[in-house]
Chains A and B, each alone.
Chain A
């Protein structure tokens, strides 16, 4: 089945620790995205990548980092600089990064603080 796989489903972070969330897609999509969702709210863009080896900051990039070394993979690191990391993290991809492209989502990783 083609789709987007996020892992782990649940993740716990200790104070001062960096954690990495995995996102893999086998849709052959060029563009990938990371969003953060807080309870009862819409999605806010953290980072996006329109092509391999390139990525751009979204609206709330502070305290996060990404890499895009392979087309199918776009891992997100939540660093210790992110002071309020508890949220539901969603990865998405689209065929290209252009307009008129629906984004398709994985089933998310829920991050909590220990």
Chain B
């Protein structure tokens, strides 16, 4: 992903509302995608993943949508809570074997939850 420097895109939502975080990925050959949550001073925490043969996957309070036509990934968080405040990263893995190890990270979106 391309760097956006110090100014992360920020999404501000009211507690209890639903949040939608978007990600445009770069490689049309990518076949596996992951969403991570990173709180301040901590490492990224795995939230949910999806393979390219799916267009939707649901977890607990989270849903990931994949649109391969426009290379777009989104994370929906239902009933957003203060503990959801963090930076969210999408990551993709290309299909080719010689890069199959590599996770390519987006630059992140900061989610702020207003009480």
Q: Known contacts A99-B32, A105-B45, A106-B43; is A41 also within 8 Å of B100 by CB?
A: no
Chain B residues positioned under 8 Å from A105 (CB to CB): 36, 43-45
A interface residues, tally (CB under 8 Å): 30
Q: Known contacts A43-B44, A90-B43, A108-B42; is A102 also within 8 Å of B101 by CB?
A: no
Contact string, A30-57, partner B, CB cutoff 8 A, digits 1/0? Answer: 0101000011111111001010000010
Q: Known contacts A39-B6, A41-B3, A41-B5; is A100 also within 8 Å of B43 by CB?
A: no
Q: Residue A104 at the B interface, CB < 8 A?
A: yes
Q: Are B100 and A42 neighbours in the complex by a CB distance under 8 Å?
A: no
Interface of B is mostly: loop
Chain A residues positioned under 8 Å from B7 (CB to CB): 40
> Who on chain A is nearest to B90 by CB?
A42
- Minimum CB–CB distance for A8 against chain B, Å: 14
> Who on chain A is nearest to B30 by CB?
A99
Chain B residues positioned under 8 Å from A2 (CB to CB): none
B interface residues, tally (CB under 8 Å): 31
Contact string, A51-92, partner B, CB cutoff 8 A, digits 1/0? Answer: 000001010000000000000000000000000000000101
> Who on chain B is nearest to A38 by CB?
B3
Q: Are B45 and A42 neighbours in the complex by a CB distance under 8 Å?
A: no
> Who on chain A is nearest to B89 by CB?
A42
Q: How far is the CA of A104 from the CA of B45 in the complex (A)?
A: 7
Q: Which of A31, A90, A110 contacts B44 (CB 8 A)?
A: A90
Q: Are A107 and B43 neighbours in the complex by a CB distance under 8 Å?
A: yes
Q: Which of B51, B102, B108 contacts A100 (CB 8 A)?
A: B51
Q: Are A102 and B46 neighbours in the complex by a CB distance under 8 Å?
A: yes
Q: How far is the CA of A56 from the CA of B98 in the complex (A)?
A: 11
- 12 sample A-B contacts, Cβ–Cβ < 8 Å, listed by A number: A41-B3, A41-B5, A41-B108, A43-B103, A48-B102, A90-B44, A98-B100, A100-B31, A102-B46, A105-B44, A107-B43, A108-B41
